[in-house]
Amino acid sequence: MSSYKTEQEEFWAGNFGVSYIGRNESEEYLASNLSFFSKAMRQIGKPSSLIEFGANVGMNLRAIKQLYPSINLNGIEINETASKELQEVVGNDNVFTGSIFDYPVTEQFEITLIKGVLIHINPEMLDMVYGKLYDSSSKYVLVCEYYNPAPVTINYRGNEDRLFKRDFAGEMLDKYNDLELIDYGFCYRRDPSFPQDDITWFLMEKKG
């Protein structure tokens, strides 16, 4: 019997999650990430620490490490195969292998990051994930996802109930009164130099 709470967790922990790894390990994708995070994190200065929720093999963290060589990086990853590669990027002790829902918030990082993961979370569990993103942050929350002003469900590579679009950042801003939006932007999949998969990013700061 599965220990996961949702079908979406089983989906990403299993064979589909393994097959996903190879689609995002190119040097071109790393270059796009360098461009992406140099823009999305430009208001932060030189951050000291960051944790990524759903870090996969660490392509986002590799780019951030190049931009900020002294930063302390951590990651949460549900897929065991991806987690082993992630450990090679940030170190064994800096990786939590398991579901975001099971991640115990025991410390804070200057930045909490989630990129292309909230869209795959069961909508009924979003409030819990928002809480973990907020509680794990000492200052900034960076949300990078597909955006839609109203919640919609999209077929994902032939699979139903695996991709959900909505205003994730807006929901967090409504939920936490001390969160303030300080920057946002969009990266288009047809960008001639550094494409991303139609990602809209929102940088929020805890003002409390």
Instruction: List 172's β-bridge partners, or say none.
Output: none
pLDDT at 74 over 80: yes
User: Rg for the chain (alpha carbons), in Å?
Assistant: 16
Yes or no: say if 25 and 59 are a contact pair by the CB < 8 Å rule: yes
Yes or no: say if 51 and 75 are a contact pair by the CB < 8 Å rule: yes
In angstroms, the Cα distances linking 131 to 2, 91, 128, 169 are: 24, 26, 5, 12
How high is the mean pLDDT of the chain? 91
Yes or no: say if 12 and 120 are a contact pair by the CB < 8 Å rule: yes
- Neighbouring CB atoms inside 10 A of 176's CB total 18
Give tens-digit pLDDT for 17-67: 555 555 566 889 899 999 999 999 999 999 999 999 999 999 999 999 999
Instruction: Return the pLDDT at 1.
Output: 37
Task: Using a cut of 0.75, tell me whether the model's pTM lies above it.
Answer: yes
Residue for token pair 């991709």: 163
Could you give the CA distance from residue 56 to residue 60 in angstroms, rounded to a whole number?
9
Q: Which stretches of 136-196 are DSSP H helices?
A: 168-175
**Domains of the chain from N-terminus onward:** 7-206 (3.40.50.150)
Instruction: Return the pLDDT at 4.
Output: 74
pLDDT at 10 over 80: no
| Residue-wise DSSP of 15-49 | HHHHHHHGGG--HHHHHHHHHHHHHHTTTT-S-SE
Give tens-digit pLDDT for 137-177: 999 999 999 999 999 998 776 666 678 999 999 999 999 99
Q: Is the dihedral of CA 154, 156, 159, 163 positive or negative?
A: negative
Average pLDDT over residues 84-106: 96
Average pLDDT over residues 63-75: 98
Q: What percent of the chain has pLDDT over 90?
A: 79
Instruction: Return the pLDDT at 26.
Output: 81
